Each structure stands twice: as structure tokens, then as C-alpha cells.
């Protein structure tokens, strides 16, 4: 029966279907447990993302987003080289 349900069938109406709830809860006793588990997973993933992003120096993200970064770096080194040659 679940396989024949239309995708447009409202979720609230599906909550009245015991088979649907069994699949949705996947061993949990209620929706609160399901949402609590989902919340834990999201918080864990957010923490992992924050940890990996902490390795980038502050302010460097904006530099990395510059569209013409390679050209600007080349110009910077060219200026530095000219200054060194003139001294």
C-alpha cells in the first residue's frame, strides 16, 4: 500500500497510517525521538564543519573568494621584484 501512495499525499494524513509510521520511526517510539535524533545528527555535522573551518586563518576566506586572486598575487610579486631591483 505504501508503494502506491502518491507523492503529493500530505504528510499529516500519512501519520494516520500505522505502516507508514513504522517505517518513519524505524524502531523509535514516537516522533519526538525521531526529531531528537535528527537534531543530534545535524548538530554533530555542524560541529564537524566548524572544526574543519577553524583551520583557516581569520579574514582569509574573503581573500580566497576574490575572483582575480591569481592575477593579484602575480602583481604583488611583480611590484616587490621591481622594488628589490631598484634598490
pTM across the whole model: 0.41
pLDDT below 50 — which residues of the chain? none
Residue listed under C-alpha cell 517510539: 29
- Note the helical H segments in the chain: 11-14, 18-25, 31-53, 60-64, 69-86
Neighbours of 14 (CB within 10 A): 15
pLDDT given at position 48: 67
Label residues 21-30 b or e (16+ Cβ within 10 Å = b): eeeeeeeeee
Q: Where are the domains of the chain?
A: 1-55, 59-87
Tell me what pLDDT residue 11 has.
Answer: 65
Grid cell in block for residue 33: 525521538
- Is the CB of residue 32 less than 8 Å from the CB of residue 41? no
- Terminal alpha carbon distance of the chain: 84
pLDDT at 9: 61
Amino acid at each position: 500500500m505504501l508503494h502506491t501512495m502518491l507523492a503529493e499525499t500530505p504528510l499529516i494524513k500519512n501519520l494516520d497510517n500505522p505502516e507508514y509510521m513504522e517505517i518513519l520511526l524505524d524502531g523509535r517510539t514516537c516522533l519526538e525521538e525521531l526529531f531528537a535524533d535528527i537534531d543530534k545528527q545535524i548538530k554533530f555535522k555542524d560541529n564537524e564543519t566548524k572544526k574543519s573551518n577553524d583551520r583557516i586563518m581569520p579574514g582569509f576566506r574573503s581573500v580566497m573568494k576574490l575572483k582575480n586572486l591569481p592575477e593579484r598575487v602575480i602583481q604583488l610579486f611583480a611590484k616587490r621584484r621591481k622594488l628589490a631591483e631598484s634598490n
